Amino acid sequence: MNKALAILFKREIETIGSGRTDTGVHATEQVFHADLPDSIEEETIMNKMIGLLPKDIVVNQIKLVSESAHARFDAIRRSYEYHIHFRRSPFHVNEYCYLPKKPDFETINKACQLIFGKHDFTSFSKVKTSVNNFNCQIEQAEWQVEDEKAIFYETANRFLRGMVRALVGTLLDVGYGKINIEEFKKILLAKDRRRAGQSVPPQGLYLCEVRYPETIFIK
């Protein structure tokens, strides 16, 4: 993105993203901010960048924001999805996680009720991470199952490094009967990553939405 903007505006431009994802994770929506020249045509920039960016990156929208706006620190809500398929397919193999056996999603969704609200998610965070605290406010956490696939939807004010993948892996342990709901609760309260399950593969994870307060946008 920096390279494309530098070619377009003939000067170095630094972009700041709303956050990072692990290698292999997708984003149906990602947000960045950058300081651009005042005289810009949003539609023109998007059209020109089509030919400057790799085929797996597309700019869908440009909005003017206040000078102090920050893509990472001003975000108030983020949403992720994790996609699982139960039938193996040779198509789009890097876009979902394949599992040969369905877990008990009714029990898994009962366990999801335990993480609603504000909690310390140390048990589901990578150990080496530079954050002031591990508290997150969960607004949505549920699985929806349709035929041979299942999608986990989660929305929170913030996410820790590796949090969604570790959480999904531990919830699947509940669904496969490796741990019960009470044990899942104890893992959450333990604040110990060693107690939680293994992280699921990155290719099933999607960053889907990043939201900001309306006050940062210039009408």
11 shares a domain with 36 = yes
173 is catalytic: no
Greatest extent of the chain over all pairs of C-alpha atoms, in Å: 60
Q: What is the pLDDT of residues 48-73, one digit of tens each?
A: 998 999 999 999 999 999 999 999 99
Which entry of 22, 56, 74, 120 is annotated as an active-site residue?
22
| Residue-number span of the structural domain to which 148 is assigned | 77-209
Q: What is the pLDDT of residues 178-191, one digit of tens each?
A: 999 999 999 999 99
Q: How confident is the model at residue 41 (pLDDT cuts 50, 70, 90)?
A: confident
85 shares a domain with 190 = yes
pTM of the model as a whole: 0.94
Domain count, the chain: 2
CA distance 24 to 33: 23
- Residue-averaged pLDDT of the chain: 94
93 shares a domain with 39 = no
Q: Phi, psi (5° rounding) for residue 121?
A: -105, 35
203 shares a domain with 106 = yes
Supply the angle between the helices 181-190 and 105-112 in degrees, to the nearest 10.
40
82 shares a domain with 62 = no
